[in-house]
Chains A and B, each alone.
Chain A
Amino acid sequence: MSLDLENMTRSIVENLHQTWLYRAIEGWCRSDALELREELGLASFSITTSDPVEMYQKVKTHLLSKTFHDDETLQFLMDAPRWVGFTLEKDEFQSGQQVIGAARNEAIALLWLMAIPKLIIKPTVFPEDYPIDGIKIFISSLMSSDKTRDLLVHYMSKAMELRGIHDIVFEPNPIGRGYIIDDAIRPQRLRSLLALMIMRSTKHTYDLDKVFTLNEEQIVEEASAYIVSMQAKSMLKNQITGGVMLRPFDWPLIGNPKVCNGLFSTLNVLQQSTSKMVTCTTYTYETAEKQTPWSRSDFISFLIKEITEHYSEIHRIRHGKSKNTELDLFIELLTGENIKIAKRLLRADDPGAALFEELNDYKQKAKSGEKPQITPERRFRIVLSSLKQQVSEDKLEETSSNEVMDQINEAFDAIIGVVESHEKSLGDEAERFAQALCFETAYRILQLLDVGDALMDLPWVSRFVAEESARSDISTGEISNLDDEHRIKRIVSAYAGGLTYLILQNQN
């Protein structure tokens, strides 16, 4: 075991240059309390003049906000110790220097925890060769006890010494001076806190309540699985995007059987690791009150989506919003036939070769100008699900409101398609149907963005926008725009406007 630990720590130290988090750790380790005091403009070290807890949080926020620029992650790091039950007690400090030192140490420990999932596997290792046992041993030492943590610290310092890194401290326990908790629950809560940090770092979503119910063995398994699946997922992206030398999917290239086989090997590791997870909600979907894990065909469908997104990105860079290029058709075909392709690949003996054949096939179809056979309903579902995916991924990073707006426009485009394709059977009800579908869609989008309450204002805001729009037609004499034939489109446009206003307002 200690040999494993020695190997793991060595490999982590070799990877240190891989992440910008390490640069932050390096920087803060080398600045002392005095420098920090000056940086923060804290006039006095004295804790009699200011509240130590306030000073502590100020220092911690200062350090973390230099590295984490999105408010959500920052808030998470600020609040997590309190969530799991640790409280800062001002009487634990005797001097301002202690306050600054303790806050600095916590921030550095948090940076280490956020960095570990990224450092623990070398980027050149293929997913099928991931040192899964080593990862578990490392995580277990991290979580088990103060004694095992000391051992970890010992090995890490030794490994850093060997690489000529002398003045950097590895201390993964964020709970130091100032924090108090009932001794009986301390080990368990500390484990939960460490696990939450690792889970957060992987950007997977999790069910917080479930994390607290895991025992030591389970939580080690769980955190390790988060790391492995995060690594496999980013490997999958890298394999598709390619590196500087080799870009196998750089349109008009569509990979080859060997590259496609590599994708499936990675996908297998991703599926295996996620199947062990019990707290993660990223690879599940909600059905009638319960979370159902992804099936094999969901994973294959995900792979095709990733490939399609890669081509969309290329299209965006090369052609902007222009339509009907060969690449655009290719993307449309892959999007529209995603589920059909996934079903066929599920049955294939050699899925890698079969994937390549599929891509080849659709490339030919795109060349001959073939359009996907896709019903408006399915297009509508595709738009909504990609919006959902985008929103949930973006939550952790910077949300681009323009992109969300683009997607909303696409969703409303799809509504027009749905209504028009049913116009005959809907008859007199077509307009009510359109209104109800717009209302429902807007509700789902508002919920995705966490502002479901804004729904109550949707009808009148939409009406207001429609009136202002109609008024400009009237004042410019374009009365024909208000004819019956345009009613469905005007209804849909009104809701698109109302929803746009509410989203923009709620973002502020």
Chain B
Amino acid sequence: MFVPSRRSLRLVEIQESVLPEDEWLIGISDLGYFKGVGYSMPIVNEYGDENDLGNLYAFLPGLFYCSSQQTSVDAVLIEVTHKSLSGVMLPSFRPEDVRTFDVSGGLYLDEKGKIKPVELTTDTLGSFGVESFLRDSGLKQEAFNYKREVQIASHLAGIVPLSELKKAYVSSSFLQSRLMKLLDDIQFYGLKPRKRVYVRNRNHPYGTVVDVKYGGLDDETKFETGVRLRIPDDLRLEKELSNLSFSKMVDSGVEIDVERAILDMLLYVRFELEGNVNHKDVLKKLFEEESG
């Protein structure tokens, strides 16, 4: 995963499955905040009524659109568990499932099949595709073997170097449809807190979106004293999340809770977008040339 050395607002995608029809989350966030994904410190339950140590949580604050729930959230929290099945470890979360698009533009293939750079706008999204290659290759559709995927891969390897492949990926039509959902959501609802977070853990193995309340938003004094995230519909989850603590790397490792990190990030997103929420401005910001 790309870990930025300094703060910047980037497009981030989270997904476990390699199949396009499966769940995905796509959003805008600053991976410089935690220097990658935030991982909670393993802490002992403060009430001492449970002996076990809680599992780690992976945490990404930011404005994310979730495909399964068809809604947007203020953060993504995934409990990191491991299960061994017939000798194979099944992790609930891998850092490799998170990717940042640290690119300043897209790619398309010209008539000769050569790659050409292109600025990413709503008009140019979805312009990259290898189907013309597949059409010409005469590969049969029916038989399910690796031939087609391996052919696509070796064709891609021949025309797009790895350093450029992310540009091709952001310019592909599947990503276009995902990105448009996010852009529409931002344009329609603006940058106000969604007051929802995405959680995937033992109790919600397929992921869920829960409504939350931020004490710090309602009351400036409570923000200072640190009233933690409230989840009226799920007190067990509220307790679990309230125990989490993360090192905020952007501030030389200061410990921070879920609510504060979310509010921090919301502010940062607003600051970076300067209140602009239309497609064009958001795209421009996300794929701008990184200076320095």
CB-CB < 8 A to B248: which residues of A?
none
Question: Contact: A463 with B154, CB < 8 Å?
Answer: no
Total interface residues on A, CB under 8 Å, equals 58
Question: Contact: A462 with B18, CB < 8 Å?
Answer: yes
Residue with the highest number of chain B CB atoms closer than 10 Å, among A461, A499, A502: A461
Question: Contact: A466 with B157, CB < 8 Å?
Answer: no
Kindly identify which residue among B15, B18, B131, B157 contacts A504, using a CB–CB cutoff of 8 Å.
B157
Contacts A/B (CB < 8 Å), 10 sampled? A433-B86, A459-B18, A463-B15, A464-B168, A466-B18, A478-B141, A491-B19, A492-B146, A494-B19, A499-B153
Question: Contact: A437 with B130, CB < 8 Å?
Answer: no
Q: Which B residue sits closest to A459, measured CB to CB?
A: B96
Q: Which A residue sits closest to B146, measured CB to CB?
A: A496
Kindly identify which residue among B16, B95, B129, B153 contacts A465, using a CB–CB cutoff of 8 Å.
B153
Interface string of B145-174 (1 = CB under 8 A from A): 110111011101110011001101100111
Question: Contact: A498 with B131, CB < 8 Å?
Answer: no
Name B's A-contacting residues (CB within 8 A). Answer: 1, 13, 15-21, 85-86, 88-91, 94-97, 99, 129-131, 134-135, 141, 144-146, 148-150, 152-154, 156-158, 161-162, 165-166, 168-169, 172-174
8 tightest Cβ-Cβ pairs between the two chains A and B: A497-B149, A504-B157, A497-B153, A500-B153, A501-B153, A494-B18, A493-B149, A467-B174
Kindly identify which residue among B88, B162, B174 contacts A502, using a CB–CB cutoff of 8 Å.
B162
Kindly identify which residue among A426, A467, A476 contacts B20, using a CB–CB cutoff of 8 Å.
A467
Kindly identify which residue among B85, B165, B173 contacts A471, using a CB–CB cutoff of 8 Å.
B173
Q: Is A486 positioned at the interface, with any CB of B under 8 Å from its CB?
A: yes
> Complex: how many Å from CA A82 to CA B2?
37
Question: Contact: A433 with B85, CB < 8 Å?
Answer: yes
Question: Contact: B96 with A458, CB < 8 Å?
Answer: yes
> Complex: how many Å from CA A459 to CA B99?
9
> Complex: how many Å from CA A472 to CA B90?
31
Kindly identify which residue among A437, A440, A493 contacts B144, using a CB–CB cutoff of 8 Å.
A493
CB-CB < 8 A to A464: which residues of B?
156, 165, 168-169, 172
CB-CB < 8 A to A487: which residues of B?
19
Interface string of A415-429 (1 = CB under 8 A from B): 000000010011001
Question: Contact: B88 with A481, CB < 8 Å?
Answer: no
> Complex: how many Å from CA A458 to CA B162?
11
Q: Is A386 positioned at the interface, with any CB of B under 8 Å from its CB?
A: no
Question: Contact: B131 with A463, CB < 8 Å?
Answer: no
Question: Contact: A436 with B90, CB < 8 Å?
Answer: yes
Question: Contact: B21 with A482, CB < 8 Å?
Answer: yes
Q: Is A390 positioned at the interface, with any CB of B under 8 Å from its CB?
A: no
Q: Which B residue sits closest to A489, measured CB to CB?
A: B144
Contacts of A401-440 to chain B: CB distance below 8 A: 405, 409, 412, 422, 425-426, 429, 431-433, 435-437, 439-440
> Complex: how many Å from CA A426 to CA B88?
12
CB-CB < 8 A to A482: which residues of B?
21
Kindly identify which residue among A409, A463, A470, A486 contacts B150, using a CB–CB cutoff of 8 Å.
A409
For residue A437, give the distance in angstroms from its CB to the closest CB of chain B: 5
> Complex: how many Å from CA A464 to CA B170?
10
CB-CB < 8 A to A456: which residues of B?
1, 95-96
> Complex: how many Å from CA A482 to CA B19?
10
Residue with the highest number of chain B CB atoms closer than 10 Å, among A426, A461, A463, A470: A463
CB-CB < 8 A to A458: which residues of B?
96
CB-CB < 8 A to A466: which residues of B?
18-20, 149
For residue B22, give the distance in angstroms from its CB to the closest CB of chain A: 9
> Complex: how many Å from CA A192 to CA B97?
47
- The answer to whether residues A472 and B131 also contact, given A465-B153, A493-B148 and a CB cut-off of 8 A, is yes
